[in-house]
Amino acid sequence: MCSHELFAVAVQNRWTQFLREDGNREVMAAVSLGSLSLPPLKYQKVAVCCSYVNGSLRPITVSGNPPTFVSASGRRIVAVGDLHGDLSKTRLALEMAGVLSSDGQDLWIGGETVLVQLGDILDRGEDEIAILSLLRSLDIQAKSTGGAVFQVNGNHETMNVEGDFRYVDPGAFDECIDFLDYLDEYKGTWDDAFIGWIRATKWWKKKRTSESYWTRWNFLKVSALFDDWIFCHGGLLPHHVAYGLERMNKEVSFWMRDFSESSDGPAVPFIATRGYDSIVWNRLYSRDSADAKYQILQACSLILPNKMT
């Protein structure tokens, strides 16, 4: 799923939690949430990601439902994870990676570079939506020069969809309030409003009142294969590969879109989102052990058999 769809669901869940703590805001919530429709879900079996064509490089292509397999031959690939609502550090990291201008204009300067964000944009910091807006803006700019920006989900994204808000910064709740008010005043499309938030967020922080009202949030895959490179938030194990990358992505996407505490929604995709060895929680590869190295080789040999012989 795309980033602004996950945003819509997670914020809606946070808003529901907020109402439990203050029932007097229920009428305001109904009006606010009713005025904001979820962005349409758009999947393509095969999609060309950029209109830019370089004679020496083939266009970036994406396949899978949800998008899981990316062909970006010959391009520089940069990965960054765990931005956790810290907009200033996000900008600094992207500047260091050579993909973001340092003049404060938030311009893509990465050319044909592919940027992969490895999840955990949510929690701990107060500028989650602004970071998502920045990445969306950079993706649009990157496509015009032959590059692209991709995102996968981390464990903090799945936690928010489940209603686990232990690590949500109070300022992040305020940001969602500001974003809802901003949408009410915005005259253009939802996508344009979302992209424009990175430019508007500072002004809305200054305008903020002491009242608190909520809205919604967005979605992605949990793993992606870029030519010979595999990207995920935690770590890929052989049983994840055997289960199927696209299958995991599809089940997580379906679960995130339809999850509801008050209904018998789709089962939690345990292999991807729960447990110490799930794809978003796995920490095995942080250990320098023979077992970790063996698991890496096994997973890679299953996905890239021709490259391991």
**How far is residue 4's CA from residue 136's CA, in Å, rounded to a whole number?**
9
Asked if the bond preceding 39 is cis, omega within 30° of 0, the reply is: no
In the chain, helix, strand, coil percent, each to 5?
45, 10, 45
Count of helix runs (H) and strand runs (E) in the chain: 11, 8
**How far is residue 123's CA from residue 11's CA, in Å, rounded to a whole number?**
12
Directed axis angle between helix 3-21 and helix 190-207, to 10°?
50
CA dist 51 to 67, 101, 306, Å? 18, 22, 31
**How far is residue 196's CA from residue 252's CA, in Å, rounded to a whole number?**
28
Q: Catalytic site residue 84? A: no
- Measured at the CA of 168, the angle between CA 164 and CA 171, to 5 degrees, comes to 150
- Which residue out of 4, 84, 156, 240 is catalytically annotated? 156
Q: Provide Rg for the chain, Cα atoms.
A: 19
Write phi, then psi, for 59 (nearest 5 degrees): -60, 150
Write phi, then psi, for 72 (nearest 5 degrees): -135, 50
Write phi, then psi, for 34 (nearest 5 degrees): -70, -25
**How far is residue 239's CA from residue 308's CA, in Å, rounded to a whole number?**
18
Active site members: 156
